[in-house]
Amino acid sequence: MVDLDELELLLAKATPAPWKGNAFYPHITSGLGSNEVLVAQIAVNTYRDQGRYNEQLIAALRNAAAELIHDARKWRHHCYIESQTSRSPNP
């Protein structure tokens, strides 16, 4: 099972979102203008231009991470409640 606490910890310590890829250069950045920082460089020598898609995927997942973690917690809670309810004896 994915450790959501660990993901939240990593998210809190990582470079803040939003991250963005660059169609012309194989890297991911965060921030604007003079405050822009390099987050990662992506390999471009990949099969069928996968490097560009890897870059877009990494940035998109980072930007969605907080919401995805929140949704996963809600789903786990829902599943837990359902499992407890289904174990209750029927009156």
Report pLDDT for 91. Answer: 57
Is pTM beyond 0.75 here?
yes
pLDDT digits (tens, 9 = 90+) for 35-67: 999 999 988 777 888 888 889 999 999 999 999
Q: How far is CA 81 from CA 47, 57, 88, in A?
A: 45, 33, 11
pLDDT digits (tens, 9 = 90+) for 9-31: 999 999 999 999 887 778 999 99
Report pLDDT for 43. Answer: 84
